[in-house]
A = this chain, B = another copy of it.
Amino acid sequence: MSCEQTLIQQLRARGFRLTPQREMVLSVLHDGEGLVTAEEGHSRVQRLSSAVDISTVYRTLGLLPKFDLVSSVDPGDGQRRYEFLGLHGAHLHLICQACGQVSGIDLEVAPALVEQLQAACGFQAALDQLSIPGLCPACAVAPDG
């Protein structure tokens, strides 16, 4: 089933409607590479239909994660980012504090962490929404800049 179909299904199942705007927002997330801010999503959507308002983009970006089609992360730079999930599934994000680059890696790096958190304090970690700050390989070598 295409993600488009999934969207329609999920919307209907909960009494939401399929609008061109929602299709477009899903589409730009689908086609775009990786993490997208609301603003970026908005400008990409506007290439498809220039009248779409950014408030609609915000509303849609708030909606899509509920359908497991999109995930959202806050890299801690004051701009939440959204990402299409269909292709690779959930993963976690590594955020370089020096250059801002974000890379996604498989959740499999951290199964032990989840178990340990569960065991140690009963906390149920949602790794798919996790972003880990640090230094990417390039910046780790040259800490300044």
Q: Which residues of A contact B (CB under 8 A)?
A: 73-74, 76-78, 80, 94, 96-97, 103, 105, 109-110, 112-113, 116-117, 120-127, 129-130, 132-137, 140
Are A126 and B97 CB-contacts (below 8 A) given A78-B78, A103-B121?
A: yes
Whether A123 pairs with B113 at a CB distance below 8 angstroms is no
Whether A73 pairs with B74 at a CB distance below 8 angstroms is no
A73 contacts which chain B residues (CB < 8 A)? 76
A103 contacts which chain B residues (CB < 8 A)? 121, 123
A141: shortest Cβ distance to chain B, in Å?
A: 9
Whether B135 pairs with A123 at a CB distance below 8 angstroms is yes
B116, B133, B135: the one within 8 Å of A130 (CB)? B133
Whether B113 pairs with A110 at a CB distance below 8 angstroms is yes
Whether A94 pairs with B134 at a CB distance below 8 angstroms is no
Whether B135 pairs with A124 at a CB distance below 8 angstroms is yes
Whether B134 pairs with A122 at a CB distance below 8 angstroms is no
Interface centre among A109, A137, A140 (most CB of B within 10 A): A109
Whether A122 pairs with B109 at a CB distance below 8 angstroms is no
A107 to B124, CA, bound (A): 17
B76, B120, B137: the one within 8 Å of A109 (CB)? B120
Known: A110-B113, A124-B135. 14 other contacts (CB 8 A): A74-B74, A74-B76, A78-B78, A94-B117, A97-B126, A103-B121, A103-B123, A105-B120, A105-B121, A109-B120, A112-B112, A122-B140, A124-B134, A129-B133
